[in-house]
């Protein structure tokens, strides 16, 4: 969930005598355990140095490595995914990363007789959508508005607005709209309970 402080100050307000008031508060109370759990997870990450905007949404992600190498900007949604932080991972604004995604910042050099460790940062620009079970490999830069198809394995940079799919990921003929204006976090029921009622 978004930070408790953000939800509280941004909550929809209704007259106490209205049905909307009681409906909104019933939804808020019902979603409170999940809200507390997700905020606890966020707080652990930020205490260890991760830079997470108060409007970003963190699901049951497994995030290993040096937490200060993680940066998540406004209104980005991170589902139940796996992120390794051997190097920096920067996630832009309004990004949606679905469940099962793996973001890997390190591997081994198969051409090296000593099989040396290689680490490279990953940069994900604004409005990127990474679909279920995609794998993002070290050193990848994903341009604004790009879409990574479900199960895709991305080993090379993805251009702005490009839609890629497959293993290895390759561009498909379609291109995403250049005018994007949505918030992936607003679709979550618990956030809507606070922000919409």
Query: pLDDT (tens digit, 0 to 9) for every residue of the chain, 197 residues total?
Result: 567 788 888 888 899 888 888 888 888 888 888 888 878 888 899 999 999 998 898 888 999 999 999 999 999 999 999 999 999 999 999 999 999 999 999 998 888 888 888 899 999 999 999 999 999 999 999 999 999 999 999 999 999 999 999 999 999 977 787 788 887 777 777 777 888 77
* CA–CA dist 52, 57 (Å, integer): 9
* CA–CA dist 153, 169 (Å, integer): 5
Do the bridges between strand 170-175 and strand 162-165 make them parallel or antiparallel, or are there none, so unpaired? Answer: antiparallel
For domain 51-189, the CATH superfamily is Hexapeptide repeat proteins (2.160.10.10)
Are the C-beta atoms of 188 and 80 separated by less than 8 Å? no
State whether residue 182 is helix, strand or coil: coil
pTM, two decimals, is 0.87
* CA–CA dist 41, 21 (Å, integer): 29
Are the C-beta atoms of 131 and 147 separated by less than 8 Å? yes
Q: What is the DSSP letter of 131?
A: -
Catalytic annotation present for 108: yes
Nearest to 7 by CA among 192, 187, 182: 192
Burial class (CB in 10 A: 0-12, 13-18, 19+), 153: middle
Residue of 41, 86, 108, 141 with catalytic role? 108
> What is the predicted pLDDT for the residue at 1?
54
């Amino acid at each position: 969930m978004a930070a408790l402080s953000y939800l509280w100050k941004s909550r929809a307000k209704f007259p106490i005598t209205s049905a909307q008031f009681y409906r909104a508060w019933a939804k808020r109370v019902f979603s409170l355990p999940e809200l507390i759990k997700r905020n606890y997870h966020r707080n652990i990450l930020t205490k260890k140095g991760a830079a997470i905007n108060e409007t970003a949404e963190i699901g049951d992600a497994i995030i290993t490595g040096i937490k200060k190498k993680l940066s998540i900007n406004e209104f980005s949604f991170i589902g139940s995914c796996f992120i390794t932080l051997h190097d920096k991972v920067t996630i832009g604004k309004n990004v949606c990363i679905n469940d099962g995604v793996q973001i890997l910042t390190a591997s081994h050099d198969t051409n090296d007789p000593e099989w040396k460790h290689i680490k490279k940062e990953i940069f994900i620009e604004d409005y990127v959508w990474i679909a279920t079970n995609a794998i993002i490999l070290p050193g990848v830069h994903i341009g604004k508005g790009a879409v990574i198809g479900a199960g895709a394995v991305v080993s090379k940079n993805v251009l702005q607005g490009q839609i890629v799919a497959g293993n290895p990921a390759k561009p498909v003929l379609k291109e995403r709209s250049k005018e994007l204006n949505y918030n992936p976090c607003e679709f979550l029921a618990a956030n809507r309970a606070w922000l919409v009622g």
